[in-house]
Amino acid sequence: MRKQSLFLASMLTGYLASVFPSVSDEIVNVEQGWSPADKTAWYTTTQGSRLLPLSWLRALEQPDSDKPFLAPAYMASFNYIPGPGASDLPIGFTIDDQDDSRLSATKLRWKEPQSTKEPWAGINCSACHSNEITYNGKRMRVEGAPTLADFQSFREALVKALDQTWLDDQKFARFAKKILGDDDQDSDKLRGELAKLVDAETKLGLANATPLRYGFGRLDAIGNIFNKVATIVNAPAQTFHASDAPVSYPFLWNVPQLTAVQWNASAPNKPVVGGVALGALGRNAGEVIGVFGDVQIESYLKSLLRPGYMSSINMANLDQLEQLLGRLKPPAWPSVFPAIDEPKRSAGQRLFADHCARCHSHLDRDDLATQVTVDTTRLKGPDRIGTDPWMACNAYANSARTGSMILTPKGYFVVPGEKPIILGSTAPEFDMLATAVVGSIVGYAARYKELVKEVGAKELKELFDRKSSPHIDLKPQIKLSNLVPEILPATVAPDKIAQLKGCLADDSPILGYKFRPLTGIWATAPYLHNGSVPTLYDLLLPPSDRPKSFYMGTREFDPVKVGFKTEPSAENSFLFRVFDDQGNPIQGNLNSGHDYNNAGLSAADREALVEYMKDL
């Protein structure tokens, strides 16, 4: 019996090892041009994001548990990467200790005495744009790659943990003791300030609420940012829109060379004024607003007296991180993967030139200087992209009440010689974000003149100027089923149908998705803007043949199809689905489009194209 048990245990161990290969602590270097100091700066530099006080995060317990929220295994369950060295914070979780005297929502006082530079925990760009890939027991860190983190679940767990700590006396007692020690005279004050944070985060969570689960590696970033702006303008009876258009995190190498960024190319990446890339500054400032930046939106007259909006955004650090990003090279196909098949690669290169190069121009891996003009493939027209339309449509058409931003010029500035567009009681959220971003840059530059030597009103105003305003015109002659046959109107709310019809009838260049060089594309799975296709090989299939569901969460790589493994496992725990149980398409998850006679490709053609793209 003992021999039989040992035999079964040995068989089970072998089976588990084959299904869940052990991963070494050693990280195989993927050369991208950064030094160890560069990587440390990427992981730890604060952008002015302030999620909660650092001592609170370290004292916080997991929801429904007394275990630490920062326990490595718990943070790993959201797929955040452990931080460098002995840090208890994952990669991208930063410490912000700026003077909070001029701040608002994050100016909390829970003990006596308390410094105005109490450290707060926040996140920076590396939390969303760093990834690890594993293969046969080897680990590879890819900087600037899309994260596989589940931000939606992390945020929900954090808010639940804070709420339980506030409500549960025993949890709060343990929390307070870790922060205040044995002296509990400030306990009530701590609980009151905790209630403020819980209230703010709960309201924002409700604003973003959607039944759609993003899963690993996706986030409706634009929806979250828009709702944050709609929250901080303090408008009564505010209009919020569900954050229901998740996207894959974009990869960041070569980004400083692109003329426009965001999936819909809505943010110009130029110009450079006073040595500062204002376009990049605007794009990154908008990101910080969405991820826990503290911004005070005041009436236009009041903001002119200071001038600008006061915020926690650290513009100098944003500029430094952008300069660092300008030195980041795309990752080369790692040597631990099977070698690239040269005959297949050559055949794939010819096919790529015939089928793909019209949109995806070539850029050498070492070329970090050539400017790349970015355009979009539109939602409408004979060459329409055909992919899920909701990110582009929501970004273009969603509006909200302007609150304290009412009567402010769109883009904050009045440019001499131009007739300003004044924000009314409601406005497109895109315009509200642009105004918040430019106002925050002005507020920072007014205090730190060394950052922007010559703040040009025209240049700042045009950071997010899309050149047209949304109009939702139903145009009865437009038939939705002809334009987007994959969407069944019965599965979409009537107001959303009207919105989509309006988007599909409009000619704005941001009503589409950008195309760009594909250097390093192998390291950016899953594919399409909304992460709805697991591998490059699957992307080359006719849309009807692409996987209708697949599991996400594992870092284990498939070097043949080029993407992550899709079979269920302990790590691969989230099932991404294109259709619901009734067979209706799930809005936000459509895997259609990007079809340029895919059916005309043979299996050998697809294999050759994949082999070529491995080497880009």
Q: Parallel, antiparallel, or unpaired for β 138-143 and 27-28? A: parallel
Hey, is 153 helix, strand or coil? helix
* Among candidate residues 458, 471, 610, the one with its CA nearest the CA of residue 534: 610
For residue 285, name the pLDDT band (cuts at 50, 70, 90): very high
Mean pLDDT for 111-130 is 96
Burial 279-318 (b: 16+ CB within 10 A, else e): bbbbbbbbbbbbbbbbbbbbebeebeeeebbbbbbbbebb
Bridge partners, residue 139, by sequence: 27, 134
Task: Give per-residue pLDDT as tens, 350-409.
Answer: 999 999 999 999 999 999 999 999 989 998 888 889 999 999 999 999 999 999 999 999
* % of residues, the chain, pLDDT over 90: 73
Which pLDDT band holds residue 275 (cuts at 50, 70, 90)? low
pLDDT number for residue 550: 98
Q: What is the mean pLDDT of residues 590-616?
A: 96
318 vs 320: CA distance, rounded Å: 5
Q: What mean pLDDT value characterizes the chain?
A: 89
**pLDDT, tens digit (0-9, with 9 covering 90-100), for 549-572:** 999 999 999 999 999 999 999 999
**Residue 8: pLDDT band with limits 50, 70, 90:** very low
Pick from 20-24, 92-96, 367-371: least confident? 20-24
How confident is the model at residue 10, as a pLDDT?
Answer: 37
State both tokens at 392: 């582009």
pLDDT at 488: 53
Whole-number pLDDT of residue 422: 93
For 330, left (φ over 0), alpha (ψ -120 to 50), or beta? beta
The better pLDDT of the pair 46, 508 is held by 46
The single-letter code of the amino acid at 165 is T
Q: What is the pLDDT of residues 188-239, one digit of tens each?
A: 999 999 999 999 999 999 999 999 999 999 999 999 999 999 999 999 999 9
Residue 66 predicted with pLDDT over 50: yes
Cβ atoms of 577 and 485 closer than 8 Å: no
Over 70: is that where the pLDDT of 483 sits?
Answer: no
> Residue 87: pLDDT above 50?
yes
Q: Are 259 and 270 in contact (CB under 8 A)?
A: yes
Instruction: Please provide the distance, in angstroms rounded to a whole number, between the alpha carbons at the two ends of the chain.
Output: 56
pLDDT of 473 strictly over 70: no
Name the residue type at position 213.
R
Tell me the two tokens of residue 537: 């090989």
Radius of gyration of the chain (CA): 25
Question: Could you tell me which residue, 510 or 178, shows the higher pLDDT?
Answer: 178
pLDDT at 578: 96
> What is d(CA 607, CA 603) in angstroms, rounded to the nearest whole number?
6
DSSP H/E element including 425 = none
Q: In the numeric block, which tokens belong to residue 353?
A: 């030139």
- Min mean pLDDT across 44-48, 243-247, 300-304, 317-321 is at 300-304
How does DSSP assign 208-236, residue by residue? H--S----TTEE-HHHHHHHHHHHHTT-T
Q: Which amino acid is at 52?
A: L
